[in-house]
A = this chain, B = another copy of it.
Amino acid sequence: MSNNMNSFIGCESNYKNAGIVLYGIPFDNTTSFRPGTRFGSNAIRNESYGLEEYSVYQDSRLSDYAIHDAGDLECPFGDTSGSLSIIEKFSKKVVKDGKIPVALGGEHLVSYACIIPIAQKYPDLAVIHFDAHTDLRDDYLKQKFSHATVMRRISEIVKDKNIYQFGIRSGEKEEFDFAEAHTNMHKYDLEGLRGMLKKLKGIPVYFSLDLDVLDPSVFSGTGTPEPGGVSFKELHNAVLALKELNIVGADIVELSPHYDISGASTAAACKITREILLAIGGNINE
């Protein structure tokens, strides 16, 4: 008689038993072009029922692991700092309770608040960042906290050169200069990923996936589609490769479902979410 729970498929553990906590962040306050990622996490939950919970790629089921879907946080519209506090607080609780937080955006700025407590717990934290955009501006129209500055802000709370960026194909010249000096950036695609894996073996890793790293042919349902991105298979193979790492947190951001009338972008977001959860779950259980 409680059929109106709305969880991601196969994520039906209670909070207490869960090793992984999935939560949504309906926040798109600083989106510069087409807004609407506030509807992303709910769309991912709703459409996850078009998927199987079993992955033939990983030969495992979501219900093999204890995953709790905590629903969406409530972020006040137009209040960026208030929203970031709410996100940080929730992430902190999950981390403190020894669970792995996996956030569904919302826009990319949310990653900053998600990472704060994780970076506090793991001073060596590495951040793997897949994106079309550098997100390395120091400010955007004078705003310090924006989805265009988020990796710059994160660079200030993790060690220098501990951010690994892939797929980047858009930004200002100054951002690429900053990357040269302070991050590890692999431009255009995900090809350099395997080489990096050895280096990160054993180190705690946060994985921030801006879905616009995908080509707009695959993923047009986003605020700033940037042609020339990776295919779904390339992204998927990269996620499978990450299984070798010690992932301690993750986010999947920038689905804007109202620009996805065909449903193809939301389906991509759902499937990659399942694969990330299984990749992390398999790792925990080992």
| In the complex, per-residue mask of A251-286: 1 if CB is within 8 Å of any chain B CB, else 0 | 000000011111110011001100000000000000
Bound CA–CA A225/B261 (angstroms): 13
Are B228 and A271 in contact, with the CB atoms below 8 A? Answer: yes
A4: which B residues are within 8 A, CB to CB? 5-7, 45, 69-72
Which 8 residue pairs spanning A and B have beta carbons closest together? A3-B71, A4-B71, A220-B262, A6-B6, A220-B264, A76-B141, A216-B264, A35-B35
Are B30 and A268 in contact, with the CB atoms below 8 A? Answer: no
Size range of the chain A interface in the assembly: 35 or more
Most buried by B among A50, A218, A224, A228: A228
Bound CA–CA A56/B258 (angstroms): 30
How many copies of this protein are present in the complex? Answer: 6
A169: which B residues are within 8 A, CB to CB? 56-57
Are A52 and B227 in contact, with the CB atoms below 8 A? Answer: no
Residues 149-197 (chain A) with a chain B CB within 8 angstroms:
168-173, 176, 187
**A16 to chain B: closest residue by CB:** B1
> A77 in the interface, Cβ–Cβ < 8 Å?
yes
Most buried by B among A7, A72, A145, A267: A267
Are A263 and B3 in contact, with the CB atoms below 8 A? Answer: no
A224: which B residues are within 8 A, CB to CB? 50
> A121 in the interface, Cβ–Cβ < 8 Å?
no
> A31 in the interface, Cβ–Cβ < 8 Å?
yes
Are A77 and B30 in contact, with the CB atoms below 8 A? Answer: yes
Bound CA–CA A180/B103 (angstroms): 37
| In the complex, per-residue mask of A197-222: 1 if CB is within 8 Å of any chain B CB, else 0 | 00000000000000000011110110
| Partner of A226 from B29, B82, B216, B271 at Cβ < 8 Å | B271
| Partner of A217 from B217, B225, B258 at Cβ < 8 Å | B217
> A124 in the interface, Cβ–Cβ < 8 Å?
no
> A13 in the interface, Cβ–Cβ < 8 Å?
no
CB distance from A115 to the nearest CB of B (A): 20
